[in-house]
Amino acid sequence: MKVIFDLDGTLVDSAPDIHAAVNAMLVNEGQPPMTLAQVVSYVGNGLPRLVERVMDARGIDMARHLTLTRATLAQYTNGPKLTRCYPGVPEALQALAQAGHSLGICTNKPEGPALSVLHDLGLARFFGVVVGGDRLLVTKPDPAPLLLCLQELGGGDAIFVGDSEVDAETAQSAGLPFLLFTQGYRKGPVETLLHRAAFADFARLPGLVDAA
């Protein structure tokens, strides 16, 4: 079985770093900072869309979108390292790998920063494939990145593990079962997302994969 994971809000809580990067960009623009909750509400469709939502909320000219996206990415890359694994993630990944499952990442985060996070947190060794949000011309919820990840893992039976409406839609569009981590960046109630099973504790994940 191939087990493919979303990254932000699923394996790692990266919101503090994203929040810091957005606020550093805003301060440089002479804008007041945003709350963590507000920034988290914009997460899910990749960095360009996040910056677009921030700019829209502050009435910043969209002609500067590319410039401010690059500035936010630079702040994220060079800023404080506050991202942490959710409890139980390394142990769950170890158990899945020992059980013979092939693991991959499909994220809307740009591939370079995604790989950096995985290396910084000691998770890179678990994943044979990482597909970032800048690999293709489309991002999740388009199924193409998820299907590319599965293809690069060798194809076959697979399951997608994520935390959000975007992830649920991506899995459905790709025709893959979806496991929902409930402690991430989901916007609405659990019951509004199509999923095979939901979990809040990563100790349950290996059993849910085996039952899928």
* Distance of alpha carbon 118 from alpha carbon 188, whole angstroms: 28
Catalytic residues: 6
- Is the whole-model pTM more than 0.85? yes
Query: By the 8 A CB rule, do 115 and 127 touch?
Result: no
CA distances from 148 to 54, 96, 107 (A): 30, 21, 12
Q: What is the per-residue pLDDT for 43?
A: 86
Residues 176, 193 within the same domain: yes
**Domain end call among 78, 93, 126:** 78
Residue 75: what are its φ and ψ, rounded to 5°? -65, -40
Domain identity same for 9 and 22? no
Q: What is the CATH number of the domain that holds 136?
A: 3.40.50.1000
Residue 101: other Cβ atoms inside 10 A:
18
> Which neighbouring-strand residues pair with 159?
3
Asked if residue 146 lies in contact with residue 4, where contact means CB atoms within 8 angstroms, the answer is yes
Whole-number pLDDT of residue 50? 92
- Boundary-marking domain end, from 41, 58, 78: 78
Domain with 61 in it: what CATH number? Answer: 1.10.150.240
Per the structure, the count of domains in the chain is: 2
Same domain, 114 and 201: yes
Range(s) of the domain holding residue 36: 15-78
Which segments of the chain have a pLDDT < 70? none
Q: Are 14 and 117 in contact (CB under 8 A)?
A: yes
pLDDT for residue 54: 96
